[in-house]
Structure 1
Amino acid sequence: MPRPAPPFTELLANCQRSAVHLEMRDSYQDPDEAPRVAAWKAGYRPDPNDRASWWRPWLDMVADATARGVSFRRARIVSEPVSEYTRYLYDGTFTNVAAGEEIRWLSRRNASDIALPGNDFWVFDDQVVRFGYFSGEGVYLGDEVDERPEVAKLCTTAFGAVWDRAIPHDRYTI
């Protein structure tokens, strides 16, 4: 049964082979991210040649995990034309790629016949699922971990179907 999730850092530290993440919202309202979104709206774009200006603790965690052999994949299902927030994500995705993530994009229209869980999720080593819960406005409400094999199978199957259809970041245009 689902239970409160341990810190993400703990889930990732225990991960040995793979971490996959499916994002299905067109907007997230993360207070920690709000200053970066505001700066982006004002015209700031990270300089790919100035890593110190955009490297964050998240990217350190990704780089550390990939250095120890963890495959890190993220798929984003997005409405098209994309939302302003999705444009913000797109402009900064090169930082995730530089840290070792593989990222793909799938238009919502092309996901219509894929059975998807009702919430964004992470799956660690095809066994541990972390569901993230958000309000209608995209405010993070919390998360739970589920280790039931049938839930892990549902999520890994859904992620795989999205991944197979999605367009790699370096070929996706908005």
Structure 2
Amino acid sequence: MGKPLTNETFDDLLSGASRSAVHLELRDAYMYDDSYVKWLETGVAAPDINDEWWISTVGEAVARGVEVRRVRIVSEPLSKYARWLWECTPLVNLVAGEKVRWLPRQQTAGLVVPPADFWVFDSSVLVWNHFTGDGEWADNEVTRDRALVGLCSGAFEAVWDRAIDHHGYRPS
């Protein structure tokens, strides 16, 4: 079992990473924040204060040489939330220095992935992200169990190899 993770611990894990931080996202919708609600109202994607924190935090890691990669497995046609993520990606994730790819769920046949979102830092620390059925944050847990870290690292790489770079992905 893992131990709970706080945002401060996430900062510590990312700032302590020296080579890599990879993130797999599996849901079509997450928590509705102010930036998403504003996009629903206006149709205009714009970073907010939380995004500024992300750009700074990830940007510092990338500047130190940490490769930060993210894959989003999504259903097509995209949910409104996933469409918003796609529109925000250049404004937040790519600006921060992340590499982002997308994999339509119908192209995942033959892949085996864990049932929860996760982060892996330097192929040695695994952070499970747990959400409620409504997409609200439930909790996290951290483990250094080598078997689980290896399983998730391998799953991420298999998905990454099949996924489409953000610049080439055109959602339906």
Q: Which runs of 5+ in 1 are unaligned?
A: none
Conservation of the 8 A alpha-carbon contact between 1:130 and 1:143: yes
What is the letter of the counterpart of residue 141 of structure 2? E
Deviating above 3 A after TM superposition, structure 1's stretches of 4 or more consecutive aligned residues are 51-55
Secondary structure of the residue aligned to 2:61 is helix
What is the letter of the counterpart of residue 12 of structure 1? L
**Once the 2 structures are TM-superposed, how far is the Cα of residue 3 of structure 1 from its aligned partner?**
1.6
Secondary structure of the residue aligned to 1:170 is helix
Q: Which runs of 5+ in 2 are unaligned?
A: none
* TM-score calculated relative to the size of structure 1: 0.91
Identical columns (%): 42
Q: Give the match for residue 83 of structure 2.
A: 87
What is the letter of the counterpart of residue 88 of structure 1? W
Match for residue 104 of structure 1 among 97, 101, 105: 101
Match for residue 74 of structure 1 among 70, 74, 98: 70
Deviates more, 1:51-60 or 1:79-88: 51-60
Structure 1 residue 59 corresponds to structure 2 residue 55: yes
In the alignment of these two chains, the number of paired residues is 168
Q: Give the match for residue 29 of structure 1.
A: 31
**Once the 2 structures are TM-superposed, how far is the Cα of residue 106 of structure 1 from its aligned partner?**
0.2
* TM-score calculated relative to the size of structure 2: 0.92
**Once the 2 structures are TM-superposed, how far is the Cα of residue 46 of structure 1 from its aligned partner?**
4.2
Structure 1 residue 164 corresponds to structure 2 residue 166: no
Match for residue 19 of structure 2 among 17, 20, 23: 17
Distance 1:138 1:153 in 2: 27
